[in-house]
Amino acid sequence: MVKHTVTLIPGDGIGPEITTAMRRVVEATGVDIEWELADAGEHVMDECGTPLPEHVLDSIRKNKVAIKGPITTPIGTGFRSVNVAIRKALELYACVRPSVSIPGTGARYDDVDLVIVRENTEDLYAGVEFEQGTADVAELIAFAEERGAGTIRPDSGISLKPISVTGTERLVRFAFEYAIANGRERVTAVHKANILKYSDGLFLHTARRVAEEYADSGIEFDDYIVDATCMQLVLNPAPWDVLALPNLYGDIVSDLAAGLVGGLGIAPGANIGDEFAVFEPVHGSAPKYTGKDVVNPTAEILSSVLMLRHLDEPEAADRVFDAVRATLGSGERVTYDIKRTLTGSTEGSVGTAAYADAVIDNLG
Ligand code: NAP
């Protein structure tokens, strides 16, 4: 049996509870994993002076694979997103978020099987921002106006949206390679190129050019405007397959896609680069539920399924996925969010740890 060493980042809020549940389920499969604990997030600020100590990145660089809980990002002020910083520091350029219908979740649809492939390193998440009222903003506004690029109100804050040929090429290639490796049929590039000519326009032209390289791959290619994509996804999600999106649209559309299959509690994700991979749920740290042992650890557990496949442990991955399906399918030992969707009330739901017990029982 191969021994794996994986960096484990419990994170903030509900992170420690759901990563503990995930770890117990993975260990119950018998896969040999040594977890290297490396903590990051709001709660390490006081001790370490930074929410992302360098030893956390070093641990991932050494082990190549990490799984994490969510990390809090203060809104409007305070430190920048640790999640974004990890993705940028390790060039985890593709964020893969499958949305698959699982019976028993009470989701609106039972025929969804799509994958969001979100660009992870640029767009409005590049972190190139200028604060309202500063000399930098005044200079930027003067620069834009001098070049006839339109007028900007002087009391504006400005965030830049860089989209590059390099970033788009590797993202769209990743989407095609993923489609080929996973028996998918179609890649759709999602954009707003009708309005954002030089950023989304570049994304679209580059995606079309990369698609030509895959003309003989058997994978279809098309493109869609992001707002129309959202409406079509809500109306009829079944035909959608692999969606390749710039960072911000990918973030928003993946929450929408999670909603199609039962909510954030069951939506897993992976951040992949050429060298490293970091697995994490789509949802955040849900601070109001911290320490209450109520939230659904399925998204974290399904993120470990993606991790097990990445570690070339397909049998263990299938066992965990089937055990989650069986647990949700029975509708008995499920968490409040699923119970609420199924019955309109949280009565009769179980907690995070008891749900993990049920999944472990269903591993057989
Ligand atoms: P959130 O933490 O995802 O929570 C929003 C709501 O989604 C919760 O109130 C809950 O809804 C539901 N939910 C989320 N996770 C759930 C789970 N495991 N089981 C059941 N329901 C779940 O979003 P947020 O409140 O906007 O963000 C909180 C913090 O997380 C912010 O600081 C944000 O920046 C950060 N964040 C981190 C990541 C990451 O680490 N990758 C991702 C997104 C957000 P109900 O109360 O209706 O049940």
pLDDT in tens, 263-285: 999 999 999 999 999 999 999 99
192 CA → ligand 1 middle, Å: 27
As a whole-number percent, the residues of the chain with pLDDT over 90 amount to: 90
Burial of 206 (0-12, 13-18, 19+ CB in 10 A): buried
CB contact burial 212-249 (16+ within 10 A = b; e otherwise)? eebeeeebebebbbbeebbeebeeebeebbbbbbbbbb
The residue contributing the CA closest to ligand 1 atom 12 is 264
Mean pLDDT of the chain: 95
Burial of 55 (0-12, 13-18, 19+ CB in 10 A): exposed
Q: Per residue, what are the HEC states of the chain?
A: CCEEEEEEECCCCCHHHHHHHHHHHHHHCCCEEEEEECCCCHHHHHHHCCCCCHHHHHHHHHHCEEEECCCCCCCCCCCCCHHHHHHHHCCCCEEEEEEECCCCCCCCCCCCEEEEEEECCCHHHHCCEECCCCHHHHHHHHHHHHCCCCCCCCCCCEECCCCCHHHHHHHHHHHHHHHHHCCCCEEEEEECCCCCCCCHHHHHHHHHHHHHHCCCCCCEEEEEEHHHHHHHHHHCCCCCCEEEECHHHHHHHHHHHHHHCCCHHHCCCEEECCCCEEECCCCCCCHHHCCCCCCCCHHHHHHHHHHHHHCCCHHHHHHHHHHHHHHHHHCCCCCHHHHHHHHCCCCCCCCHHHHHHHHHHCCC
Has residue 79 got a pLDDT over 80? no
Has residue 315 got a pLDDT over 90? yes
Evaluate whether the domain defined by 1-92+266-364 bears CATH number 3.40.718.10: yes
Contact by Cβ (8 Å): 211, 187: yes
The residue contributing the CA closest to ligand 1 atom 17 is 265
CA distance 67 to 320: 16
Ligand 1 atom nearest 11 alpha carbon: 40
pLDDT of residue 10: 97
How many CB atoms neighbour CB 194 within 10 A? 11
Ligand 1 atom nearest 297 alpha carbon: 18
pLDDT of residue 12: 96
Contact by Cβ (8 Å): 328, 105: yes
pTM for this prediction: 0.93
pLDDT of residue 287: 96
Per domain, the residue ranges of the chain are 1-92+266-364, 108-122+163-260, 128-159
Active-site choice (58, 111, 222, 227): 227
Q: What are phi and psi of 341, to 5 degrees?
A: -65, -40
Q: Which of 9, 252, 264 should be mutated for ligand 1, with most atoms under 8 A from CB?
A: 264
* Token pair listed for 69: 């809980």
Residue 61: pLDDT band by 50, 70, 90 thresholds?
very high
162 CA → ligand 1 middle, Å: 27
Lowest-confidence range among 28-42, 44-58, 226-240, 291-305?
A: 44-58
CA distance 203 to 226: 13
Spatial CA neighbour of 71 closest among 39, 41, 37:
41
* Selected residue with higher pLDDT from 80 and 229: 229
The residue contributing the CA closest to ligand 1 atom 16 is 265
Q: What residue has token string 């949206």?
A: 161
Active-site choice (192, 249, 337, 355): 192
List pLDDT tens digits, range 4-55. 999 999 999 999 999 999 999 999 999 999 999 999 999 898 888 899 999 9
Burial of 291 (0-12, 13-18, 19+ CB in 10 A): exposed
Q: Is 361 a catalytic residue?
A: no
List pLDDT tens digits, range 132-168. 999 999 999 999 999 988 889 999 999 999 999 999 9
* Selected residue with higher pLDDT from 106 and 360: 360
269 CA → ligand 1 middle, Å: 14
CA distance 268 to 25: 15
List pLDDT tens digits, range 174-196. 999 999 999 999 999 999 999 99
Q: What is the dihedral of CA 304, 274, 2, 35, to 10 degrees?
A: -50
Q: Is 64 a catalytic residue?
A: no
Ligand 1 atom nearest 287 alpha carbon: 28
Has residue 362 got a pLDDT over 80? yes
pLDDT of residue 291: 96
pLDDT of residue 60: 98
Contact by Cβ (8 Å): 61, 219: no
Ligand 1 atom nearest 70 alpha carbon: 40
pLDDT of residue 77: 65
Q: Which of 285, 340, 342 should be mutated for ligand 1, with most atoms under 8 A from CB?
A: 285
Evaluate whether the domain defined by 108-122+163-260 bears CATH number 1.20.1300: no
206 CA → ligand 1 middle, Å: 33
What residues flank ligand 1, with Cβ below 6 Å? 70-73, 83, 264-265, 280, 283-286, 295-296, 299, 337
As a whole-number percent, the residues of the chain with pLDDT over 70 amount to: 99
Has residue 205 got a pLDDT over 70? yes
Has residue 115 got a pLDDT over 80? yes
Active-site choice (12, 123, 200, 251): 251
148 CA → ligand 1 middle, Å: 42
Q: Is 197 a catalytic residue?
A: no
Ligand 1 atom nearest 336 alpha carbon: 20
Residue 57: pLDDT band by 50, 70, 90 thresholds?
very high
212 CA → ligand 1 middle, Å: 39
Bridge partners of 243? 116, 188
Q: Is 251 a catalytic residue?
A: yes
